[in-house]
Chains A and B, each alone.
Chain A
Amino acid sequence: MLKINQPDYDAIRQHSEETYPHECCGVLLGHSDDDSRAVAQTVRCGNTRSDSPHNRYHIAPQELVQIQRQAREAGLEIVGFYHSHPDHPPRWSQTDLAEAHWIGCSYVITSVEKGQAMTTNSFSLTGDGEENKRFEDEPVAVVAEAVAFPSESLG
């Protein structure tokens, strides 16, 4: 299960509308145990796939290094990622699976139709490694109050 508070959930969906018709992307920070993750903060990232931003996304590794460092300093960890599917279903694609390498993390996808965020789904990447990794449907629990974790503002 992915637990996320309403403001962070709304922020993801708002990001997907702002970048439409391009894909948005970002990182989910929080805490995790074996089969669930709780989001304490979302961090917007740039999509470096300027060659095909309407159907591809890529986060610069340098940006991830900085986010991982800031998360560590805030007592958080990277628990997942999000991106949007402009005018496409909110399901993982073969490209999403091929390019997914953070086993144990959540991959959140929001479909956007004509500029409006529609459905937001989450999939957990499971398996023992590249050879047998797979996405599994993951329930999303949106809670009204802030998830109680230490957090600091990230740039």
Chain B
Amino acid sequence: MKIFIPTPLRQYAGRQDAVEVHASTLSDALSKLTSAHPDLKRHLYTDDGKLRAFVNVYLNDEDVRYLADKDKTAVKDGDSLSIIPSIAGGEDIL
């Protein structure tokens, strides 16, 4: 399957915009991604191994947080995984 890397993280993935991995589950796919590109790990996960709150992961067009089997969800080679850091903000209260 193909894992799409967002612009800011490409420098930690060999400057590639996508990484191909063969995996059976979501967690397997992400594990293989960070094994191949260890520098990605600290940008995706907290020190205690949880996916950072602002990192969104989509399996095809589904937010993986809402999948019934979460990171145990089965994946196949034709699937794509998108990593999308959140975009938000706003003005200070004056």
Contacts and interface: CB of A to CB of B under 8 A. Distances in A.
Contact of A95 (B7, B58, B89): B89
B90 A105 contact: no
A95 B43 CA distance: 20
Given A83-B89, A88-B94, A96-B89, A104 B4 contact: no
A68 to B, nearest CB: 7
A101 B85 contact: yes
A25 B82 contact: no
Interface in B1-28: 4, 6-8, 11, 17
A121 to B, nearest CB: 13
Contacts, number: 104
B62 to A, nearest CB: 9
Given A68-B84, A72-B17, A102-B8, A61 B94 contact: no
Interface string B62-87: 01000000000000000000101111
A64 interface: yes
A77 interface: yes
A124 B19 CA distance: 26
Contact of A61 (B4, B42, B63): B63
B8 A65 contact: no
A126 to B, nearest CB: 11
What class of interface size applies to chain A in its complex with B? 35 or more
B6 A78 contact: yes
B33 to A, nearest CB: 17
A96 B8 CA distance: 17
A101 to B, nearest CB: 4
Given A88-B94, A95-B92, A64 B7 contact: no
A100 interface: yes
14 contacts: A55-B93, A56-B88, A56-B90, A58-B88, A59-B88, A65-B84, A77-B7, A86-B91, A88-B91, A88-B92, A94-B92, A102-B87, A104-B7, A105-B7
Interface of B: 4, 6-8, 11, 17, 42-43, 52, 54-56, 58, 61, 63, 82, 84-94
